[in-house]
Chain A
Amino acid sequence: MKDNLSPGISDDIRHDSAEKHVTGRADYTDDLTEPQGTLHAYLGLSKCAHGRITRLDLDPVRAAPGVIDVLTAADIPGVNDVSPAGNHDDPIFAEGEVRFWGQPIFAVIAETRDQARRAAALAVVEYDALPHALDPIAARDAGMGYVTDPLKLRRGAPEVALATAPHRITGRMVIGGQDHFYLEGQIAMAVPGEDEDVVIHTSTQHPSEVQHMVAHALGVASNAVVVNVRRMGGGFGGKETQMNLFCCVAAVAAKKWHRAVKLRPDRDDDMTATGKRHDFVADYALGFDRQGRIQGVSGDWYARCGFSADLSGPVTDRALFHADNAYFYPDVELRSHPMRTNTVSNTAFRGFGGPQGVIVAERMIEEIAYALGKDTLEIRKANLYQNGQLTPYHQEVEDQILPRIFDELEASSDYHVRRKAVLDWNARGGVIRKGIALTPVKFGISFTATWYNQAGALIHIYSDGSIQLNHGGTEMGQGLNIKVAQVTAEALGVDLSRIKITKTTTEKVPNTSATAASSGSDLNGMAALDACDQLLARLTGFAASAWNVPADQISIGETVRIGGETMPFADFIRAAYLARVQLSAAGFYKTPKIHWDRAKGTGRPFYYFAYGAAVSEVSVDTLTGEYEVDRVDVLHDVGRSINPAIDKGQVEGGFVQGVGWLTSEELWWNDKGELKTHAPSTYKIPLAGDRPRIFNVALADWSVNREKTVKRSKAVGEPPFMLAISVFEAIGMAVASVAHYRECPRLDAPATPERVLMAVERLRGGGTAA
């Protein structure tokens, strides 16, 4: 395998669907032509955070215009469960007891979506309310217990290190969750077939899991269920497991009535009934020396997991895996607490718990810097990993490149001059204060569930020379399809235009993993390469024997060269077909080297690390707590980029999404447990005007993955998300200026204008003078 991409392949090739996107001709699930007689389902949701259902009168629903049927748990022919962890704790429909406000209790099936929706609102449900706990600390205090086994990572003797350190700080950080706010909501359309067959058209990151869940719900084998995903209108982790329920409901109704059934919740119901990024409360104890070098760390991460496990196990694990971010903790113990709460079951979201670990590491850096009166950057540099050091999970760091990233970014962003200017600005006093911060990310790449690190691809060359590419990954905007197509085109030496990328379907590639953990290109690209290698071996063998030419005189591509003879690719393929050469190959890949012993908390869960850093400068209005991001400089590591334009898009988009998480996006429940920020009118993701006024994003084009990944590239989806912590910390610095940086601002997330102003007021000691 060549490590270098051919000219024209490692290029800013646009998204394969770009023209369809801009013309409105890209089909999403809701745009597909509905089969004649398609019915529409709508969910009835609980209006109680925790309670026994004492009355469930669905007769008014059944009597509503257009209604065909109402489904409850009793109507599910197989298993009433969509737990991705196999815990059997995630019912499709609640039975007897509801455990969060918004839990599905029933579904109504009607001739039109409008009829189904209006009918669902007519149900009469009464509850005998039980005590509920909404946040993780309340849940701990109420003895709610864990939704899944907690994790402990330990190395050395942190008790001793903390007791003997010259400085010791303890603190708490509250970290908010985040709604995915994919623009296309959850949606499933089930089309029944003969026998037990059903085809699901949906928008999921995990077609194989939907296949298995639907099979369980119907009580049939997986081979009866086909799941098709052409594209998603955004996923971000919110469609890794959350689509299961919608697909199961549509499938059960479709099989029962022998008609296609579509289920698409309104945005409010989507946001109320589906899981989000976990909120955390982290308690930390930190020991460090007079130079700011960390000596010992002990921490507890309490997560709002919701009523069931879903993916909370691996999410809370990953919070601990990233609680060091880029820093060496000589002696450390980290403990996760996946708390059961009476809220929607939280799930995967870009970073998968990692951001909630990283941000606490950065808070601890701030604690040290403010305690010692130093620049946070100096503290960061004093604690960066050196190759050969061990993480808290005992993986050796081998590929550290942050020192070079820091050096280059400090220079390109003019960090030191600008920091001085910020300090000078703030020294004048005044209402508008500024802050600047440089923060890094080191992100572990691989699913920590080792078996997920496998992928398949299926490549057909048709007898006219056209190529169809299938792989197990799903396209949600991240450009996975174009990247895998580029890799395939380069391997076969053909033009990209020769390759058609199809929908993802469980019929073509079985037993796939979720497109998640930033792994899509790494895994599926390598699987496609394996298929290409098989095809090339067969075609070369055919050419060698048919033309009687040594293999080293054969090159396959748009122009096929066999000895001294050349011919177009299509003619060569036609000849191969007539000679009965198999023109289809299934590729496979599994990530090498990785292993993980969760019980011991040791292993090598990650194949490699991706790195990056950002410098952000902000202005804060100390009369209102509002702020603006004045400038951001990013230098990010994607290894050797397969498609710099696509990768840059991931960096920019991930960064702004991270800024949203840490600033304006706030989940707010009332004391009854009802989420009141459940639509874009109340839940505020960033707008164009919120993006940094100056936004310089560069890829570390010198970086080469030391591991053998596809073309030595690195994963890019999640890591840049955490670079937004630089904005958060810069806001904190501006706040701290009102007390002359003598006190760590200890902002909690999200830093809404309210939290910022309240922090300003707190640091001023309740004073109000500007």
Chain B
Amino acid sequence: MTELRFLLNDTEISLSEVGASDTLLDFLRISRRLTGTKEGCAEGDCGACTVMVGRLTPVGLIYEPVNACIRFVASCHACHVVTIEHLRGQDGKLHPVQQAMVDHHGSQCGFCTPGFVMALYGLWMTNPDPTMTEVETALQGNLCRCTGYEPIVRAAFAATRAGGQAADALNTERENVASRLAGMRGRVDVARDGRNRAIVPADVDDLAEVMLAQDKPTLVAGATDVGLWVTKFLRNISPAVFIGHLMKDIAVDDQEIRIGAGVTYSEAAPVIAEHFPEVDSYWHRIGGWQVRNMGTVGGNIANGSPIGESPPLLIALGARIVLRRGAERREIPLESYFIEYGKQDRKPGEFLETIIIPRRGDALIAAYKISKRRDADISAVAAGFRITVAHDIITRAHVAFGGMAGIPKRAAHAEAALVGAPFARQSFEAAARAVAEDFQPLSDWRASAEYRRTVAANFFRRFWLEHAGGALPVRLPRAAGE
């Protein structure tokens, strides 16, 4: 196809001139004059540009709030983009979410407000009876500088009480929209000015072909990183291959969990919650809700960040990855994918297809991170732990860190201090001392080297305290999910 097609509110959009780096936000504001969606930061952190995007999945049409500023137009193919302008009913009445925001004085300057309304709309639609934690989690991707959030949280619960989901246009029109979107699917190859090219493969085999055919294509999955290459660094990403709709399968057997590289953090969350409940809260500290709805586990690995919120945990869990080139596949341990800062074990034409996580067995598992702000902040230090204990002796220890070196990396000295040692406080004290030999962290705006070293050591102490069964709490109330 030489046309990109999607639904924008009630209107079917068909575009033949689309550049790889055209953002959804500019399309809405400049091309369509839909100015209710605001630009606050152009990097997916403030949420003022939040829109809902509906997409077809094996379980049907689902809607999720996402950041329009770092979402590329090309990634909206066969999707339903819903903006703030679409909320008001035909009768002109405010939507229950909007009415609740008005009634509870949830807006002051009003600039962040459309984004909050859209995030609350997403929550209201998908969770008719949220807990306080769920409300706060849904609002992790939205910044407000005026209200202090209290009235917005009150509005979230008021909207819940108002109900009305069944009558909402996105629900009453669901079947109709789903069939229209289904009719749009298929490969797309478009460009702006004959260059700045965007390719949307039809399926993963098509992707494999495209990867062999194109010279140095930019793979764009959730765009939560690549989006910033464009909006902040003005980089040329053409030809860009959009894969956010591919490799979405999750399969679990009695040996392992296989997660497609295109699975978003939000899509992976139920699997994490079921199989690794200890790290559920860690998982929900990655980005904000909008970012988790876009960002993919595969992308988080493939871009090779020295921090990467998921790789330290996945390395500790013993994850392996499948890399595919054409019809060929190879499987490597995740930890060997990261070679050095900026360099990964991925060959031209190759792409990450699947992440394989072994089932946990009887291992003790934990994930920690520290950041200046608890939620939606990139970690200064992140760590994953998988410790196996038999007869009070530590038999296996996998501990991997992010933010401590140029790549996510295991703490070899600390692991050595643990393996074979008794499952006791002094063993973790020894590991806390040993980890100093594993890393020479940097000082930057997130943390000083000294703080990183201190915290890395304290994570071992925390792991022990959490598993020692003491009477005193070892986690902050919110962190403990209270």
Contacts and interface: CB of A to CB of B under 8 A. Distances in A.
21 contacts: A15-B108, A18-B107, A20-B110, A21-B114, A22-B117, A28-B111, A477-B146, A619-B477, A623-B455, A623-B474, A628-B479, A652-B147, A680-B41, A680-B46, A682-B445, A686-B373, A688-B135, A690-B374, A754-B372, A754-B447, A770-B461
Provide the main secondary structure of the chain B interface: loop
Contact of B108 (A118, A649, A677, A695): A649
Interface of B: 26, 29, 33, 35-43, 45-46, 48, 83-85, 87-88, 94, 97-98, 101-103, 105-114, 117, 135-137, 139-140, 142-153, 228, 231-232, 234, 370-378, 380, 432, 444-448, 450-451, 454-455, 457-459, 461-462, 465, 470, 472-479
B111 A183 contact: yes
A109 B95 CA distance: 41
Given A233-B110, A652-B147, A680-B43, A753 B372 contact: yes
Contacts of B444: 668, 676
B375 A17 contact: no
A431 interface: yes
A649 B472 CA distance: 37
A182 B33 CA distance: 23
Contact of B455 (A268, A430, A757): A757
Contacts of A21: 101, 107, 110, 113-114
Contacts of A268: 232
A677 B373 CA distance: 13
A685 B143 contact: yes
A232 interface: yes
A236 B42 CA distance: 21
A313 interface: no
A182 B472 contact: no
Which A-B residue pairs are the 4 nearest by beta carbons?
A24-B36, A233-B111, A477-B109, A21-B110
A240 B117 CA distance: 29
Nearest to B447: A754
B162 to A, nearest CB: 14
B98 A234 contact: no
Contacts of B26: 114
B96 to A, nearest CB: 11
A676 B445 contact: yes
A23 B475 contact: no
Given A22-B102, A681-B378, A757-B455, A652 B472 contact: no
A18 B36 CA distance: 14
Contact of B472 (A431, A676, A677, A695): A431
Given A183-B48, A626-B476, A666 B150 contact: no
A752 B455 CA distance: 14
Contacts of A627: 476
Contacts of B370: 624-626, 753
B108 A691 contact: no
A627 to B, nearest CB: 7
Contacts of B152: 688
Nearest to B432: A768
Interface of A: 12, 14-15, 17-28, 30-31, 33, 114, 117-118, 121, 180-185, 231-236, 266-268, 428-432, 476-479, 619, 621, 623-628, 630, 645-646, 648-649, 652-657, 664, 666, 668, 676-677, 679-682, 684-691, 693, 695, 697, 752-754, 757-758, 761, 768, 770
Contacts of A654: 148
Nearest to B35: A31
B105 A30 contact: no
A184 B144 CA distance: 11
Contacts of A619: 476-477
A754 B114 contact: no
B257 to A, nearest CB: 29
Contacts of A761: 454
A687 B139 contact: yes
Contacts of B42: 266-267
A671 B117 CA distance: 41
Residue with the highest number of chain A CB atoms closer than 10 Å, among B108, B136, B477: B108
A624 B458 contact: yes
A652 B105 CA distance: 12
B14 to A, nearest CB: 23
